Chain A
C-alpha cells in the first residue's frame, strides 16, 4: 500500500512540486537566515577565536564584550602573573586608529598591540611575511581582507582596480609611519574594519596617549589547571574579570543578543519562513488529500483500515519533508558557498541543520495531521455518493 501512496503522491506532479516547494522554502529561509545570523555572531567574537594561545582573558569587570575596552593599569599584569596556576600572562592593547591613505582619505582600523617579547596574541595565520618580522622597526601586519579592500591603494584618476597593500608598503597611522611586514589571514570581524597588528610598545606610540593603556591580559594556565577555577582565583585575587576563551565568546554574543536588534530581525525572518512554509505546505498537502478523498474512501470501503491510510499519508508527508529539506538545505548551502569570499557572514553548523530539520518535521506533521483528521472522519459510504 505504501507504493500506492507514493505513486499517488508522485503522480500528481504539479501538486507534488508545490508541496515540496513549500517545505523547501521554509527550510531554505530557516537555514539561510540562521546561517547568516550565526555567521554574524561568530564575527562578533572573531578576535577571541583567532587568538589561539591564551586560555583566559582578564579585563576590567565592567567590560561587556570584546570591543568594549576599559583600559587597566600596567601593574595589573604583574598582579595576574602572581596568581597561583598562571603559567604566563601577556599584555594586549586593543584600540581604534585612523590610517591615512595615499589619496588623503582616512580609514579607521582595529589596532592590536601584542606582547613585544613573545608576540602572543598575533594573527592565526600569515598570507605573506612572518610574525617575527614584527620585531623590526615601525613594523605592522595587516589582515588580508583589509589590505586588499579598505586599505588598498586606489589608482590615480579613480579608475581601475585598487592595488592591495604589499610587503614593504608604508601606512600612515595617526601621523606615525608603519611598514607592512606581513599580511595575515584573519576571520572577518563584525565591523569589517581592517585589523593592524604591531607590538604592544609600538601600539602605544601609534595610539593617542591615555592614562591607562592595557586593554586585556592574556593568560596561559599551567598544565593541568582547571581553567574555570583559575578564572575564579584571578578574580578573587585581583578584582578583575577573568573568562575562559569560550566564556568570553558567550559574554560577547550575549551582549549582541541582548542589546542589538539582530536576533529580533533574524528571528522574525526565520519565524516568517516557518509560518509561510507551514501555511503553503499545509494548504497544498490538505488540498492534495481532499482531491484524493474519493480514492481514499474507495480504499477504505475496499477494506483498508484507518491505520493503513494514516501511514500512507504519513509516508507522503515524510517523503515531501525529506525532499524539501534536502533541496532547501542544498540551496542555502549553495548561497553560502557562492558567497564564501564575499563580506556575507555565513556559518552553518550541524546544530543549525538539526534545527532546520526539526522545523521541517513540525511543518510536515502539522500538514499531515490536518489530512489525517480528514481521513479518519471519512465515511466509506462517500464512495456511493
Chain B
C-alpha cells in the first residue's frame, strides 16, 4: 500500500486495509540490544498479525520481548531486521518527520504508569494528542471533555491527575489514547498498577470504547486475569511468538 498520511482520514481505515483485514503485519522481526558479548537478542524473528477490529494480547514472562515488540509496532523503536507494517505503512521506510506524524495520527498509547502530566488538568492531558495534531486548545479540551464523559470522568475534567485514584488515572489515559480516533491502540501493562477489580473495569472500558471494526488494540500484559477480554492471545518466550490462541485457549 502506498497511501500517504495526508490521504488517510483519522479513524477511517484505508480501503486497502479492509481488503486484507490486517492492522499490523510483522514478519521475522529481530531486535538486539548492545553488541558483542553483551548483546541481548530481544526479538528473534517474530511473526505476528493483528486483525482490524480485534484486541490482541501479547503475554509472556518478563524479559521475553513483549515491550520490544510493542515498541517496534508503535514505531518508537527501530527493528534490526524483518518486516513490520501498520495499516500497510512501514515505519522503517519513513523519514523521521513522517514517522512522527503517522504515529501521532494513527496510534494511541496507554502506559503502565499512565504518564499523565501532573501539572495539567485531566482534560488538558486528554487533549494533548489533539494539540499535537494541530487542534486549538479550546477545541481540544472540548473534545477531551466529551470523551472523558465516555469513560465516566466527565465531571472531573478540571482536576489534576494527582486527585484521581489509579483506576481513574488509567481511564484518563484511555481517554487520551482514544481522543484523536487512532486506528491502533497499544497498551503496555494497562492493569499491572491496579487492583483486580479496577483492572477488570479498565479492561471493560477498553473493550467497550476502544475496540471497533476500524480499530485494533495490542495489549501487552502478564496479568492472566484479563486474558478473557482478548480476541486472540499471542504467547511470547525468549523473543519469539510461541503460540497464538483465542481467549478460551483454542488455537
Contact = CB atoms under 8 A, between A and B. Distances in A.
Most chain B CB atoms below 10 A, which of A11, A302, A306: A302
Given A379-B76, A380-B76, A381-B76, A295 B132 contact: no
Nearest to A16: B119
Contacts of A379: 76-77
26 contacts: A1-B131, A4-B117, A4-B128, A7-B117, A7-B120, A8-B119, A8-B120, A12-B119, A295-B117, A298-B109, A298-B111, A300-B100, A301-B76, A301-B109, A302-B103, A302-B104, A302-B132, A303-B101, A304-B104, A305-B101, A306-B96, A379-B77, A380-B76, A381-B77, A383-B115, A384-B71
B132 A308 contact: yes
B51 interface: no
A384 B103 contact: no
A10 interface: yes
Interface residues of B, number: 31
B194 interface: no
Contacts of B111: 298, 383-384
B55 interface: no
Given A7-B120, A381-B76, A383-B109, A303 B115 contact: no
Interface in B104-118: 104-105, 107, 109, 111-113, 115, 117-118
A306 B77 CA distance: 16
B241 to A, nearest CB: 18
B124 interface: yes
A8 B120 CA distance: 7
B198 interface: no
A10 B120 CA distance: 10
A7 B119 contact: yes
A381 B91 CA distance: 14
A300 B128 CA distance: 11
A11 B137 contact: no
* 5 residue pairs, one from A and one from B, having the closest CB atoms: A303-B104, A11-B119, A380-B76, A381-B77, A298-B115
Contacts of A12: 119
A384 B132 contact: no
Interface string A1-26: 10110011011100000000000000
B129 A303 contact: yes
Interface of A: 1, 3-4, 7-8, 10-12, 294-295, 298-306, 308, 379-381, 383-385
A383 B186 CA distance: 12
B133 interface: yes
Nearest to B188: A384
A7 B129 contact: no
A298 B76 CA distance: 10
B247 to A, nearest CB: 24
A12 B162 CA distance: 13
B96 to A, nearest CB: 8
A301 B132 CA distance: 11
Given A11-B119, A302-B109, 15 more contacts: A4-B131, A7-B124, A295-B115, A301-B109, A302-B128, A302-B129, A303-B100, A303-B129, A303-B132, A303-B133, A380-B76, A383-B76, A384-B67, A384-B70, A385-B67
Contacts of A294: 113, 115
A299 B119 contact: no
Interface in B130-157: 131-133, 137
Contacts of A7: 117, 119-120, 124
